[in-house]
Chains A and B, each alone.
Chain A
């Protein structure tokens, strides 16, 4: 059994990697879960199966076993 764990700073690195694919969002790390806090444009983009697969693969690379997207109108707010 081998489950990777999110590495320190993994969420910010994931944010950058997602942004390079055009998926702008904030990433909140909750243990192995990455919550992508995104606006409507990013949600709509992830309706595309290929982009979704990319996002999941990137998250795995950064140590997250689970990825979920939260729609927020204030997605661009600075990190708390």
Chain B
């Protein structure tokens, strides 16, 4: 089991960290990566592919109703572009009542489901290690899913080597990975307040609303937070003022209502990572 903690002697630059990552990977041999197509796991998979060759890495995607279809498409595109072998498996976290009840440690049950299904597949494929894309910034956040990863012996080399999100974006851009500028994309269940049960219908509603907003041309960070009949839309602060115009707000409302929300409200502070953690007192405002 690998313990992930803040690095004591992280290389000074992102380039040096990438060299250290390549060395770290070479020591492991063939690896499996829990692959979502997000910024972090895409970068890790590409570096692993470059370092270990096409036989040295397999990217494993766990699919469920909480995983956005758009994210899956990105994951497949990245893998195809960089010649990364992919396997897919279905996860059933929504069938676990402990997850579906949506407690504040919901992610623990989701990641337990993911890693307990993924690890045997990785072993069967001859992988010596299972990795995830946790980065050094994540260590400061409330992430109960990290505990599940530790329990299942999953390694987090980006965190171990001190990669920040900014490092990963910088190196991804340098390597031509299209996800370098992609907003962070946690699972759809993160849009539901703790205690609001997670159902496929609610996840689909949120996903449809977010897709409709993207279709309006909204770029950057975007979340539709589920509050029963009301959708609270968080936009990147860069574009927030553009939508605080009555006609445009009305347009936004129509798009979100089409996903089944009776009411739509635009958050005045804009996007906040872990916004619902703050609302429910899990983390400080």
Q: Which of B114-122, B214-222, B273-281 contacts A (4 or more CB under 8 A)?
A: B273-281
A66 touches B267 (CB 8 A): yes
Given contacts A3-B278, A33-B232, A71-B249, contact A65 B244 (CB under 8 A): no
Tell me whether B264 is interfacial, beta carbon within 8 Å: yes
Tell me whether A1 is interfacial, beta carbon within 8 Å: yes
Given contacts A3-B281, A31-B279, contact A55 B268 (CB under 8 A): yes
Chain B residues, Cβ within 8 Å of A4: 285
B253 touches A71 (CB 8 A): yes
A44 touches B244 (CB 8 A): yes
Chain A residues, Cβ within 8 Å of B245: 43-44, 47
B161 → A minimal CB distance (Å): 30
Bound: A33/B247 CA distance, A: 24
B241 touches A33 (CB 8 A): no
B278 touches A47 (CB 8 A): no
Indicate the member of A3, A52, A68 with the most B CB atoms within 10 Å. Answer: A68
Given contacts A43-B245, A49-B241, contact A68 B281 (CB under 8 A): no
Given contacts A33-B232, A43-B246, contact A67 B241 (CB under 8 A): no
Tell me whether A35 is interfacial, beta carbon within 8 Å: yes
Query: How many B residues, CB 8 Å from partner?
Result: 26
Bound: A64/B98 CA distance, A: 29
Nearest residue (CB) in A for B246 is A40
Bound: A10/B262 CA distance, A: 25
User: What number of A-B contacts does a CB cutoff of 8 Å give?
Assistant: 77
Nearest residue (CB) in B for A71 is B249
- Would you list which residues of chain A between 1 and 35 have a CB under 8 Å from chain B? 1-5, 30-33, 35
Size range of the chain A interface in the assembly: 20 to 34
Q: Which of B233, B250, B265, B283 contacts A35 (CB 8 A)?
A: B265
B239 → A minimal CB distance (Å): 12
Indicate the member of B241, B244, B279 with the most A CB atoms within 10 Å. Answer: B244
B271 → A minimal CB distance (Å): 12
B residues near A, CB below 8 A?
227, 230, 232-233, 241, 244-246, 249-250, 253, 263-269, 275, 278-281, 283-285
Supply 21 A–B pairs (Cβ within 8 Å), ascending by A.
Answer: A3-B284, A30-B227, A31-B280, A32-B278, A32-B279, A32-B281, A35-B230, A43-B244, A43-B246, A43-B249, A44-B246, A47-B244, A52-B244, A56-B269, A60-B285, A66-B232, A66-B275, A66-B278, A69-B265, A69-B266, A71-B253
With A2-B284, A66-B278, A68-B268 known, 16 other A-B pairs at CB within 8 A are A3-B284, A4-B285, A33-B279, A35-B230, A35-B265, A43-B246, A44-B244, A49-B241, A56-B268, A65-B278, A66-B267, A67-B267, A68-B266, A69-B244, A70-B266, A71-B249
A residues near B, CB below 8 A?
1-5, 30-33, 35-36, 40, 43-44, 46-47, 49, 52, 55-56, 60, 65-71
